[in-house]
Amino acid sequence: MLKVIKIRIYPNAQQQQSLAQAFGSCRWLWNYCLNLMNQTYKQTGKGLSGYEVKKLIPQLKKEHDWLALTYSQCLQQVCLNLGVAFNNFFEKRAKYPRFKSKHGKQSIQYPQNVKVADNHLSLPKIGDISAIIHRTIQGKVKTVTISRNCSNQYFAAILFDDGKDKPESSTEGKAIGIDLGLTHFAVTSDGSKFDNPRILNKYEKNLKIKQQQLSRKQKGSNNRNKARQKVARVHRKINNCREDFLHKLSRRIVNENQVIVVENLNVKGMMQNHCLAKSIQSVGWGMFCTMLKYKAEMEGKITCEVDRFFPSSKTCHVCLNQVGSLPLDVRSWTCESCQTKHDRDINASINIKDEGLRILTRQSPQVGKPFRQSLMGETNMTALPHHGAGSSGTGDKACRPDVSRSNRGRKKSTTTLSAGQEAYCVREASL
């Protein structure tokens, strides 16, 4: 199983100069190959692959002697990474590749010939670089990526294969639903609430002062560069605090639960709300969900996403009655059907968990009723939706038993089920 460990390295002055030369050479080669691909496509209508542009490196070394100062495989890896970037673009996994700038984060990649010792890394043409290796690396080293951030800190991301098989996913254990928010960062179906740390607010005043000082400096001066690094250090502190909180919370949730259900949030669309855009950007929902996924996968646990349009807050988890509207300022409400008083966030997390379990049950129909009972525990089985209309972020369908969709795709509780749908619900209920 492949794993990655990111460690801090401390190159000396000469090694920093060598790394800066390598960063610049790889950046120049990326921009040259990207421009060549663009021009070739405009002239011929056909593009170039990463392997085709890699063949140009020997000729470029003859024209530019300084390219030979950089390790050859780092240059080759630049061309291959550019080909992968274009493949991701054509398969709609990423945006069109952009030209790299000398400002901001810099990185190079070593595909092999890197040795990891107890307190240093051995890089070709760089030498032994002091490092703090806080975790034992047991396995074959695949790739090492050296990076430098805006605060002139150097890191090494070591990808290695530990030789172990990936654990099989199991459903035996506790299931939990998570409702993400701004007042409380996460509310779980068992009633736990985790406050939003609001890290940006703690450092916003300091950040404002540093940015004001930066704006007064003359462009191109050394003082402006010093002020820029001060701003970068504040941003680094904010980022480190946010990642620390997200790592600890995601690790706790993965350790305590076997099945984790979250919403498939449209964070980019929610950023269009200018009143909440700053808070949504700083909270880190997307990063948190990514951490949950890869940590659960490494532990053999299951994560499931529920469609963002699933009415988790407006649906009573006891009787499945749905209210017409529920503004954001209403944090608790009483069901008109069963008179149950709900906390808005806890009720939403319970509905998210039930919907996720229903989706997992639909994906594994051969498991049947014992699977549901083992996952849900004390959850009321009659409250679990069985209907199949609508859509879910996992590719399955999400809805309530008494709800079907009109031609415009909107949910209407008054729409009656057809004979086929009623038979389908009876068949599902018999599992």
8 A C-beta contact, residue 426 and residue 335: no
Query: Could you count the other beta carbons within 10 Å of the beta carbon of residue 3?
Result: 16
Q: How far is CA 131 from the centre of its chain?
A: 27
- Amino acid (1-letter code) at residue 127: G
- Closest CA relative to residue 12, chosen from 134, 127, 139, 144: 127
What ranges in 342-399 are assigned the alpha helix state H?
344-363, 369-376
**Nearest 5°: CA angle at 429, between 365 and 399?**
80
Element (H, E) at 27: helix 13-44
Three-class secondary structure of residue 11 per DSSP = coil
Catalytic residue selected from 305, 345, 355, 428: 345
Instruction: Tell me which DSSP letter residue 168 carries.
Output: P
- Amino acid (1-letter code) at residue 371: F
Radius of gyration, alpha carbons of the chain: 27
Query: Does 396 participate in catalysis according to the annotation?
Result: no
Query: Does 179 participate in catalysis according to the annotation?
Result: yes
Element (H, E) at 317: none
Q: How far is CA 106 from the centre of its chain?
A: 21
Query: Does 263 participate in catalysis according to the annotation?
Result: yes
Catalytic residue selected from 118, 168, 256, 263: 263
What does the block give as tokens for 70? 């950089």
As a whole number of angstroms, the distance between CA 200 and CA 278 comes to 9
As a whole number of angstroms, the distance between CA 81 and CA 94 comes to 13
Catalytic residue numbers? 179, 263, 345
